[in-house]
């Protein structure tokens, strides 16, 4: 299929009716460089979580709609998907117009038809962050009947987001989000990169965060730096998977991060 000729990667996963569904990021033109293609989100389904059948057409993509200025020509990238208490699905994805990557939101009741809501921070603080580069959202969930379900804390939904540092945002409706600010009115950095460790260059939020008895568990992509701040035990510029725990009653309170990463290039090649 031409819309996924170049790559199929960076999926978000969810269980529906006993089956595993993947929202996959696919790129169209193998001759173009990464970041210079058009991404569309496709759907695949599996009975066992290993063998998947792809649907023929993409389910979320740049279109001639109200959000074309954000989604085109780069497309819709890097989905993070979660389920609401009433059985709806929310996806946070990156809208890429070749100028500014923006974290955007869409809703669905069946994973096939999606209603775009647009950039997550468009209305926050009178549009202060509407043109800010943003991506990689991890909404907080709680296990209910064996499934992670989006949950509220103090009457609000919360999500971790970002890649160069971790910020926190809140929402009452899951599509209008307000980033947490510091005393100067800037984005509050609740978790930052760490020189000398696997996450010395990036701390990119991963799948939905999970509320546990011990705290809020966030999985994230840590990228090793390419300069003197890199972790000497890992190849420079490589990604590893990290996990960090936040206070379950205060999602901005950093408790502990696992050192070293629990999954990295070195462990995978042994």
DSSP for 45-58, please give it: EESSSSS-EE-SS-
Task: Give the per-residue pLDDT at 34.
Answer: 76
In a domain, 83, yes or no: no
In a domain, 63, yes or no: no
Rounded Cα–Cα distance for residues 157 and 221 (Å): 23
In a domain, 94, yes or no: no
In a domain, 29, yes or no: no
In a domain, 49, yes or no: no
How many domains does the chain fold into?
1
pTM metric for this prediction: 0.95
Look up the domain containing 254 and give its range. Answer: 120-269
Report strand pairing: 137-144 vs 115-119: unpaired
Which residues in the chain show pLDDT less than 70?
266-270
* CATH number of the domain to which 144 belongs: 2.115.10.20
In a domain, 198, yes or no: yes
Q: Is residue 4 helix, strand or coil?
A: helix
In a domain, 183, yes or no: yes
Task: Give the per-residue pLDDT at 269.
Answer: 58
Task: Give the per-residue pLDDT at 183.
Answer: 97
In a domain, 132, yes or no: yes
- Contact call for residues 167 and 160 (beta carbons, < 8 A): yes
Beta strand segments in 109-197, E: 115-119, 137-144, 147-150, 152-153, 156-161, 165-171, 178-179, 191-192
């Amino acid at each position: 299929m031409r819309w996924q000729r170049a790559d199929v990667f960076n999926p978000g996963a969810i269980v529906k009716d006993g089956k595993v569904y993947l929202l996959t990021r696919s790129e169209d033109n193998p001759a173009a460089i990464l970041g210079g293609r058009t991404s569309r989100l496709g759907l695949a389904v599996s009975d066992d979580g290993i063998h998947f059948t792809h649907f023929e057409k993409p389910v979320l993509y740049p279109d001639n709609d109200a959000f074309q200025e954000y989604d085109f020509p780069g497309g819709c990238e890097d989905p993070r998907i979660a389920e609401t208490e009433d059985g709806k699905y929310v996806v946070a994805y990156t809208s890429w117009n070749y100028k500014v990557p923006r974290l955007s939101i869409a809703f669905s009741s069946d994973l096939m038809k999606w209603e775009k809501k647009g950039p997550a921070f468009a209305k926050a603080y009178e549009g202060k962050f509407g043109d800010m580069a943003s991506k990689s959202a991890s909404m907080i969930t709680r296990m209910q009947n064996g499934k992670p379900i989006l949950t509220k804390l103090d009457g609000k939904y919360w999500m971790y987001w970002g890649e160069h540092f971790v910020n926190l945002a809140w929402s009452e409706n899951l599509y209008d989000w307000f980033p947490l600010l510091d005393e100067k009115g800037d984005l509050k950095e609740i978790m930052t990169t760490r020189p000398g460790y696997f996450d010395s260059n990036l701390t990119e939020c991963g799948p939905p965060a999970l509320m546990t008895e011990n705290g809020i568990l966030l999985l994230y992509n840590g990228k090793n730096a390419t300069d003197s701040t890199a972790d000497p035990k890992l190849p420079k510029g490589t990604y590893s998977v990290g996990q960090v725990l936040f206070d379950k009653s205060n999602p901005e309170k950093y408790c502990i991060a696992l050192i070293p990463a629990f999954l990295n290039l070195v462990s995978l090649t042994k």
